[in-house]
Structure 1
Amino acid sequence: MENLSIDSIWKKCLLGDRKAQFDLYQFFSKKMYAVCLRYAKDSLEAEDILQIGFVKVFSKAHLFSENGSLEGWIRKIMVNTAIETQRKNKISFVEPLESDGVLEITNTTHSDPLHYKDLMSLVHQLPVGYRTVFNLYAIEGYAHKEISEMLNISEGNSKSQLSRARQWLKTRLLKIEALTL
């Protein structure tokens, strides 16, 4: 990428400059892929969400008001695209709390602490409804009212999903802790 500022790249994107769009994609794609991966069932779905999201970024570029950060606006598009994908796949946001599950933590040994990558792996194992609400609330910072509107569920359901997600994670973390003692 040339030594251009993101602002100048964005201005060229607004004019439909394909090179600038590529540069913007290169600049933000890793961060946005990580966002997409938190909501997707696997890496292929995350890549699809990322591509669809960037198509929306470029087709709706004129809607960016510059009141907030460009990165924040792009992130919001990625999150909304992920939620749309879940709706399209008819994902339910009301799932029973599982009592047992397979732990797939790979890098933890008796002397290793739990790493960020391991925690994110555990979050990714959450049932999709729990994971979506957990990501929106705990990571993206949305309020339950906003989440309920985004997912077309009640605020109470959002709070319940978050509570169940936390319990699910706590149970698995305690099992991991017991394995590493």
Structure 2
Amino acid sequence: MLRLIPFFSTETQLIAALRRAEGRAHKVVYERYAGKMLAVCTRYCANRADAEEVMIDGFMRVFEKIDQFREDGSFEGWIRRIMVTESLMFLRKSKQWRQELPLDDVTVEPDYEWADASLNETDLLRMIAQLPDGYRTVFNLYAIEGYSHAEIADTLGISEGTSKSQLSRARMMLQTLVKKAELGASGQAQIRKDTYEKTQRTLGR
């Protein structure tokens, strides 16, 4: 089934217009994908202003490299890979993201069932944003983008052991954040219950 796109009948026509460097095609692509791609960049950059800058650079790269898209896969997926690459380039420039840990620093095997089924995506993304840059980068590449440790090591210029170490640390930190969130939620529920019971007693009910 063909998808209808404003100004263009199909995605193929949109891509053809991009290759002709038509301004309206640039606008359509930006409006269609900006929300999703900002979310991708924010997972890596954490700071929204930095993420927005990276996203804009990413779209510029999309428009420059459109001839390299072979149309044998998802156009959105191709854009996403460019956004991830741009995010990693930004992190490399910061010179603070490579928080490498020796394997013997990981003294506790994390519980991989750390995510409560009731935890929504917004809460999870907020917790991921709290991770140190190195942990967050490896976690995103492994758990969300589906990279192997070998691919992460090659992409980031680190060892596979470091990749595994940072992933373990990231998962342990997330597990801790989830537990804190659960305790906070139960605490708030107890406060509401106590307040309700006190109110009922005050009212003589």
TM-score (norm 1): 0.86
Question: CA offset at residue 4 of structure 1?
Answer: 3.0
Instruction: Percent identity, please.
Output: 44
Alignment of 1:50 with 2:55, yes or no, is: yes
Equivalent residue for 2:179?
Answer: 174
Question: CA offset at residue 3 of structure 1?
Answer: 5.3
SS in 2 for 1:134: helix
Question: How many angstroms apart in 1 are the aligned matches of 2:184 and 2:125?
Answer: 19
Question: How many angstroms apart in 2 are the aligned matches of 1:92 and 1:175?
Answer: 25
Question: CA offset at residue 144 of structure 1?
Answer: 1.0
Equivalent residue for 1:106?
Answer: none
Question: How many angstroms apart in 2 are the aligned matches of 1:141 and 1:119?
Answer: 17
Question: How many angstroms apart in 2 are the aligned matches of 1:52 and 1:126?
Answer: 24
Alignment of 1:154-165 (within 5 A): 154-165=159-170
User: Which of 120, 123, 128 is the equivalent residue of 1:115?
Assistant: 120
Aligned residues: 166
Query: Which letter maps to 2:173?
Result: W
Alignment of 1:93 with 2:98, yes or no, is: yes
Equivalent residue for 1:9?
Answer: 14
Question: How many angstroms apart in 1 are the aligned matches of 2:34 and 2:129?
Answer: 20
Alignment of 1:31 with 2:44, yes or no, is: no
Runs of 5+ unmatched residues, structure 2? 1-5, 106-117, 187-205
Runs of 5+ unmatched residues, structure 1? 98-112
Aligned 8 A contact 2:8 2:14 in 1: no
Query: Which letter maps to 2:44?
Result: Y
Alignment of 1:153 with 2:165, yes or no, is: no
Q: CA RMSD in A?
A: 1.6
Aligned 8 A contact 1:148 1:155 in 2: yes
Question: CA offset at residue 31 of structure 1?
Answer: 0.8
Equivalent residue for 2:149?
Answer: 144
Deviations 1:100-144 (A, max 9, x none): xxxxxxxxxxxxx54321111011000110000111111111111
Query: Which letter maps to 1:57?
Result: V
Question: How many angstroms apart in 2 are the aligned matches of 1:168 and 1:145?
Answer: 23
Aligned 8 A contact 2:142 2:149 in 1: yes
TM-score (norm 2): 0.76
Question: How many angstroms apart in 1 are the aligned matches of 2:63 and 2:120?
Answer: 35
Aligned 8 A contact 1:95 1:129 in 2: yes
Question: CA offset at residue 154 of structure 1?
Answer: 0.8
Question: CA offset at residue 41 of structure 1?
Answer: 3.0
Question: How many angstroms apart in 2 are the aligned matches of 1:5 and 1:32?
Answer: 21
Aligned 8 A contact 1:38 1:124 in 2: yes
Question: How many angstroms apart in 1 are the aligned matches of 2:100 and 2:119?
Answer: 27
